[in-house]
Amino acid sequence: MPIRVSCVILAAALAASGQSLRDLAKSKGVYFGAAGAVLFLNEGDYPTVLAREFNQLEPENDTKFGPIHPAPETYAWQRADALVEFGAKHGMRMRGHTLVWHNQNPAWLTKGSFTPVQLNGILESHIAAVMRHFRGKMIGWDVVNEAFNDDGTMRSTIWYDKPGIGLQGTGYIEQAFKWARAADPDAKLFYNDYNNEAICAKSDAMYAMVKDFKARGVPIDGVGLQMHLTLKPNLDTYEANIERFEKLGMIVEITELDVRVPVDASGKADPADLVKQAEIYERVVRGCLKFSACKAIQVWGVTDKHSWIPGVFKGTGEALIFDKAYQPKPAYTAVRKAFEAAK
C-alpha cells in the first residue's frame, strides 16, 4: 500500500515540523489561501484543515453575481457573510471573487434584454452594493474576471458586446475598476484570468491594458494568475511574466492554483503523477516567492473531495494538496519545501 505509507510519512513530517503552511507563509510575509464554500464548514475535517493550513480565504462561488444577487432587488449575503465570519474568527485575510464575469450570472440578468444604458446602471449598482457590504472585510476583489480570449482579443460577454454597457475595447473593464475604487477606496483591485501565467497573447493583452491604465491613472492594483494547470504546464516564461507586471507596479497573486492529473474510473490517480504534480506545485510557489510583488498564493479548494476539476475536466482529478480523506499529498510537502526555501 505505497500510497498509505507515504501519507503516514507526510502526516508525520507535518507533526514533526509543527508549522502549518499558513505559519510558513506568514514567516515569509505572504498569504496562503484556499477557495472555500460555506456548505462544507460543518463537515468533519474541512473547517479544521482550512483554519490550520490557510491564512487567506476566498468564496469559491458565494460572492459571484448569480449567487449573491439572485433577483434584481435581492442580495443574498448570508453564505458569504458566514465565510467572512469564519475567516475573521481564524485570522484569515478575505479576498472577494468576482464582480464582473461572463459566467454564473443570474437568469434575470442574462435573459433580461436590457439596453446598454440599463446594463450600465445594473453593473454600477451591483459593484457598489457588494463592495460596500464587505467594506473593511474583503481586502481586495477580482473586479473583472476572464475578459480576454486566449488569443488576446476581447471575450464576447454580456458586459462587452451582448449587448455590453456601451463602451469600446477595454472600456468596460476600466469603468468597472473606477466604480470599484469609488465603492471601497481601501480594497485592492485585481484583474484575474487563466492561461495567463506565461508570456503569451493573453498575458500580452493584459499587460497592454494594465500599462494603459497606469499611464492614464485608471485604478488597478494587481493581477491574478489563476493557474489551473495540467501536468504539462507552460512555465518557461512564468517568472519573466511576473517580473514584467511587477515592473508596472502591480501586485501579482496566484489565485486559483490546482494541477489536474489523469484519473481512472474510480477517480484515482497514478502515484507517479502525484509526484510530478508536486514538482509543479513547488515550481509555481518558488517562482512567485522570488518577487516582492507576489503577496499571496491560493489553491482552488481545500480537498480533492470537493474540487471542481472532476466535474469539468472529465477523466482528470486529484488536483489539490489534500486528498479526499484530508491527508496531505506530495504536493503539500512540495509547497512546504518551496516556502521553506524562500528568502
Rule CB under 6 A: which residues touch ligand XIL? 60-61, 145, 226, 256, 308
Q: Which of 141, 152, 207 is nearest to 176 (CA)?
A: 141
How far apart are alpha carbons 133 and 75 in whole angstroms? 10
Q: Which residues pair with 144 in a beta bridge?
A: 100, 191
Least distance CB 301 / ligand XIL (angstroms): 7
Closer of 24 and 225 to ligand XIL (Cβ): 225
Least distance CB 102 / ligand XIL (angstroms): 10
Catalytic residue at 256?
A: yes
C-alpha cell at 259: 494541477
Q: Do residues 245 and 287 lie in contact, with contact meaning Cβ atoms separated by under 8 Å?
A: no
Closer of 23 and 150 to ligand XIL (Cβ): 150
Least distance CB 96 / ligand XIL (angstroms): 12
Closer of 226 and 327 to ligand XIL (Cβ): 226
Catalytic-role residue among 58, 197, 256, 282: 256
Closer of 101 and 179 to ligand XIL (Cβ): 101
Q: Is 73 helix (H, G, I), strand (E, B) or coil?
A: coil
Catalytic residue at 146?
A: yes
C-alpha cell at 141: 476583489
Name the burial class of residue 178, with classes exposed (0-12), middle (13-18) and buried (19+) by CB atoms within 10 angstroms of its CB.
middle
Closer of 94 and 342 to ligand XIL (Cβ): 94
Least distance CB 36 / ligand XIL (angstroms): 11
Report the Cα 240 to chain-centroid distance in Å.
21
Least distance CB 118 / ligand XIL (angstroms): 25
Q: Do residues 231 and 276 lie in contact, with contact meaning Cβ atoms separated by under 8 Å?
A: yes
Amino acid letter, residue 102: H
Least distance CB 256 / ligand XIL (angstroms): 6
Closer of 256 and 342 to ligand XIL (Cβ): 256
DSSP letter string, 236-273: TTHHHHHHHHHHTT-EEEEEEEEE-EEB-TTSPBPHHH
CA angle (342, 222, 243) in 5-degree steps: 50
Catalytic-role residue among 146, 197, 253, 282: 146
Which residue has the closest beta carbon to ligand XIL? 308
Q: Is 289 helix (H, G, I), strand (E, B) or coil?
A: helix
How far apart are alpha carbons 35 and 272 in whole angstroms? 26
Catalytically annotated residues: 146, 256
